Amino acid sequence: MEATYQTKAIILSRQPFRENDCRVIVYSRDRGKIDLVARGTKKISSKLAGHLEPFNLSDLMVARGRQYDYIGAAISQNCYYNIKSDSEKTACAGQAANIFNKLIKPGERGERLFGLLLDFLETLNKNQLSVINYQLFYHFFALSMLVELGYRPELYKCVICGNKILPNGNQFDFLKGGLVCAICRKNNKNKQVLPISADCIKVLRLAVESDLNKLIKLKISDKLIKEINNIIGSFYNYNFI
C-alpha cells in the first residue's frame, strides 16, 4: 500500500481529538467516506484548519499511519462562503451533512454520491431561499440520497394491484415503499400511510428524476411544501430511524 495519497474530498465533520488534534470525516471522490486525523488543528495558528472546515471542497494529501491516516496537507478548492455566512444555509447544509454521514458507511464510494453532495453545496451556495424552501431543498437532497442508495419510491404504479396511478385519491405507503391507488386504499390495513395529493405526486416524480439545481427553481406553495416535507421525512424515518 502507498505511504501517502492525494484525494479530492468534501469535509463532512470536524471534532476535537486528543490535545491539539481534530478528527475529520470526509467524503472523497475516489475513496468514499474516510475518517482522518489532522494534527495541531485546534491551535489558532494552524494553517491546515481553515482548509478543513465542514462543507469545504478540498484537495488533501493523506499519510497512512498505523492507527489513523493523517492529513499532511489540504488546499480548499471551494469554501462555499455564501453558505457559511448565512445561518439558514449553514443549518440546511448541516442537516444534509448529517444524514449523508449517517447513511454512508466508511469506505462506501460512488462518483454519483460525491456528485450529489457537490451539487447540493454548489446549488445552496448560489441560491437565496426562504426558510420553508431551505427545508424543502434539504428534503429533495434526502430523497435523492435514498434513490441513490436503492430506496427509489414507486410513484407510477400501485404497489398493491400494479395498475397505473391516477391523479386523485391515492396514499403513500411507507412499508410498501410507494403509492397505493384509490381503490386498493380502501382495503389497505397498513397504518404507515399518508394521503397524497396529485400535485405532491408530480413534484416527487420530478424530484427523483431531476438535478437539484433544477428542483430549486420550482415555484411551490407553502401548503404543498409542507405535504412534500412530511412525505419525504416520513419515508426517510420509516427506513432509517
Q: 40's torsion region: left (phi>0), alpha (psi -120 to 50) or beta?
A: left
* Exposed/middle/buried for residue 19 (C-beta within 10 Å: 0-12, 13-18, 19+): exposed
Residue 155 near Zn ion by CB under 5 A: no
Nearer Cβ to Zn ion (103/165):
165
Stretch that binds Zn ion, among 10-18, 46-54, 58-66, 180-188 (CB under 5 A): 180-188
Residues near 72 by beta carbon (within 8 Å), at least 6 away in sequence: 4, 61, 62, 63
Indicate whether 225 belongs to the interface with Zn ion (CB under 5 A): no
Between 15 and 187, name the residue whose CB sits nearer to Zn ion: 187
110 or 169: CB nearest Zn ion: 169
**Using the rule CB under 5 A, is 179 a contact of Zn ion?**
no
Nearest residue (CB) to Zn ion, 34 versus 201: 201
Residue nearest to Zn ion according to CB distances in the complex: 158
Stretches 1-9, 134-142, 150-158, 217-225: which one binds Zn ion (CB under 5 A)?
A: 150-158
The one-letter amino acid code at 81 reads Y
Nearest to residue 135, comparing CAs of 30, 15, 3, 227? 227
**Nine cell digits for residue 25:** 470525516
Where along the sequence are the contacts to Zn ion (CB under 5 A)?
A: 158, 160-161, 181, 184
